[in-house]
């Protein structure tokens, strides 16, 4: 720009530039404040994500342990009830069918306890021999 120094036009131009510079500094300060706040939020979110990842990993570990525990319990039940066929079907338990076998066994005992007294005695003997303390808690 070609304005002679210390003229009205120069002083007005300088005044406008100073005003613009102040506004830009003010905006810059506001952006820096917003960035600081956002940075704090990002740090907090990173901590939360980290905490949730730790919790998820712990839950995965617990799930794996529970699945192993359930498989072990199924093995134990299948082997200990292997000589007790279900009345009427002669179905024997296996690891693959132990859940349905136990459900059917339970239902047979509930539906007709007098008819299935021998079955109840056999089940009690097996249950009394089981070491289920390893499966508790």
pLDDT at 84: 96
Question: What pLDDT does 133 receive?
Answer: 61
**pLDDT (0 to 100) of residue 137:** 54
pLDDT in tens, 83-137: 999 999 999 999 999 999 999 999 999 999 999 999 999 999 999 988 766 656 5
- Burial letters 90-110, b for 16+ CB under 10 A, else e: eeebeeeebeebeebbeebee
Could you tell me the sign of the dihedral formed by the alpha carbons of 99, 100, 103, 109, in that order? negative
The residue with greater pLDDT, 37 or 11, is 37
Q: Is 123 exposed, middle or buried (0-12, 13-18, 19+ CB in 10 A)?
A: middle
The structure tokens listed for 113 are 């306890």
81 φ, ψ to 5°? -100, 10
- What is the DSSP track for 96-108? TTHHHHHHHHHHH
CB 90 within 8 A of CB 129: no
Tokens 């070609």 belong to which residue? Answer: 2
Residues 6+ apart with CB under 8 A from 119: 84, 87, 105, 108, 109
pLDDT tens digits, 11-35: 999 999 999 999 999 999 999 999 9
pLDDT value for 103:
98
With cut-offs at 50, 70 and 90, classify the pLDDT of residue 2: confident
pLDDT score for 1? 65
């Amino acid at each position: 720009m070609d304005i002679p120094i210390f003229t009205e036009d120069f002083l007005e131009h300088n005044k406008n530039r100073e005003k613009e510079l102040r506004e830009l500094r003010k905006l810059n300060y506001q952006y820096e404040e917003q960035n600081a706040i956002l940075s704090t939020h990002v740090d907090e979110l990173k901590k939360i994500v980290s905490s949730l990842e730790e919790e998820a990993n712990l839950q995965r570990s617990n799930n794996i342990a529970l699945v192993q525990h359930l498989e072990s319990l199924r093995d134990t039940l299948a082997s200990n009830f292997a000589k007790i066929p279900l009345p009427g079907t002669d179905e024997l338990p296996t690891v693959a069918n132990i859940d349905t076998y136990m459900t059917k066994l339970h239902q047979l005992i509930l539906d007709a306890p007098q008819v299935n007294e021998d079955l109840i005695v056999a089940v009690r003997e097996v249950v009394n021999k089981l070491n289920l303390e390893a499966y508790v808690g």
